[in-house]
């Protein structure tokens, strides 16, 4: 059975590639960054504005949507797309990371995990079958199986036990799927252990998931360790499968990991930092609350198509933030998402024109030189 993904262009001097990912709600050009809409919304942004910025794929989270409003209500509404008013595709994380990070009383066993809701303390249960069922009720275009999230620095024996449990859960997730039109990715785990990563990658390839996610990185290891592991996995994951690096997304990360064969990214960074006044530019991030912007009447990023840059100044955006106006978070978020959308378009253009290595060097040199401007 072929993967729902076609590579259209490949870089000759890096491992970067462009492709087309086919989902139930349309085709997605890759490499792609996916904004995070944990609870069925990208905070502060209307669906029409996301689409206007060029986004066709966003994230939701199984754990949070299961707690509020509940998948059965969403199913009754016609699915998450109709419920949220979003016409593009949706990827949902399995919720495993949230179970282990938000519930200090989670109890793990071979069958699944029992935990307490962080909302009201209610006792809940996730198994591979339950998690797939929730996502099918939501109507997720791309689903993730329940996985265990081990410490990246766990000892070898503990890491191997964890990954073997995850693989068993992934096999059960495949067996539980009843809606083949909804894609199901496997999640590769193993921390920084190359032997375990390779073994798990080969097992996932044999199971023929619709794509492969890279989990368990950007969780405490050094950046260089993450880049090294992503590069290693490029050589062991199926080249014809879409690769999704979970939870990774500084501009530097995107440029460097695309060069290592990654097709999909998600991260809360552009939306979360926007609410705290950090705006991304080609010359590095800036803190709009800084006093030096009080009388700066230029745009945050010349040429940026977002409303903040086309009609407003840095001085006005600073005023909104300092005054605590809700519009501050909205405009800042739109700007950061526009920046990320433009970055991914530049990345795809450089790959199509086979100049990715030169593009990456020039882009990163400029971004790193200007990073001190955010301080």
| Residues noted as catalytic | 93, 266
| Distance in angstroms (rounded) separating the CA atoms of residues 223 and 364 | 15
Collect all residues with Cβ–Cβ distance below 8 Å to 326 and sequence separation of at least 6: 44
Strands 243-245 and 123-126: unpaired
The two tokens of residue 18 are 């462009």
| Distance in angstroms (rounded) separating the CA atoms of residues 40 and 61 | 8
On whether the CB atoms of residues 287 and 275 are closer than 8 A, the answer is no
């Amino acid at each position: 059975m072929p993967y729902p993904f076609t590579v259209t262009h490949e870089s000759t001097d890096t491992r970067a590639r462009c492709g087309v990912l086919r989902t139930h709600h349309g085709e997605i050009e890759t490499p792609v960054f996916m904004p995070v809409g944990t609870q069925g919304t990208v905070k502060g942004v209307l669906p029409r504005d996301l689409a206007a910025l060029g986004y066709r794929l966003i994230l939701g989270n199984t754990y949070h949507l299961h707690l509020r409003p509940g998948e059965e209500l969403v199913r009754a509404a016609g699915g998450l797309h109709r419920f949220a008013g979003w016409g593009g595709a949706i990827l949902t994380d399995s919720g495993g990371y949230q179970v282990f990070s938000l519930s200090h009383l989670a109890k793990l066993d071979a069958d699944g995990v029992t935990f307490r809701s962080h909302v009201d303390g209610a006792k809940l249960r996730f198994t591979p079958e339950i998690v797939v069922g929730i996502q099918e009720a939501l109507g997720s275009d791309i689903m993730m199986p329940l996985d265990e999230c081990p410490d990246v620095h766990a000892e070898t024996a503990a890491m191997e036990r964890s990954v073997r449990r995850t693989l068993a859960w992934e096999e059960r997730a495949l067996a539980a799927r009843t809606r083949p039109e909804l894609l199901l990715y496997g999640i590769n785990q193993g921390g920084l252990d190359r032997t375990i990563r390779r073994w798990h990658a080969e097992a996932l390839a044999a199971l023929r998931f619709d794509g492969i996610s890279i989990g368990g990185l950007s969780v405490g290891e050094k950046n260089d360790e993450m880049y090294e592991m992503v590069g290693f996995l490029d050589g062991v994951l199926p080249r014809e499968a879409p690769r999704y690096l979970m939870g990774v997304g500084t501009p530097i990360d995107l440029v460097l990991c695309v060069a290592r064969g990654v097709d999909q990214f998600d991260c809360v960074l552009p939306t979360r930092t926007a609410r705290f006044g950090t705006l991304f530019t080609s010359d590095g991030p800036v803190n709009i609350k800084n006093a030096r912007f009080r009388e700066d009447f230029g745009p945050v990023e010349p040429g940026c198509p977002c409303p903040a840059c086309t009609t407003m100044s840095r001085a006005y955006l600073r005023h909104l933030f300092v005054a605590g106006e809700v519009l501050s978070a909205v405009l800042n978020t739109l700007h950061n998402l526009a920046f990320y959308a433009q970055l991914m378009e530049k990345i795809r253009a450089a790959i199509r024109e086979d100049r990715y290595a030169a593009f990456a060097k020039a882009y990163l040199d400029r971004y790193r030189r200007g990073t001190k401007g955010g301080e």
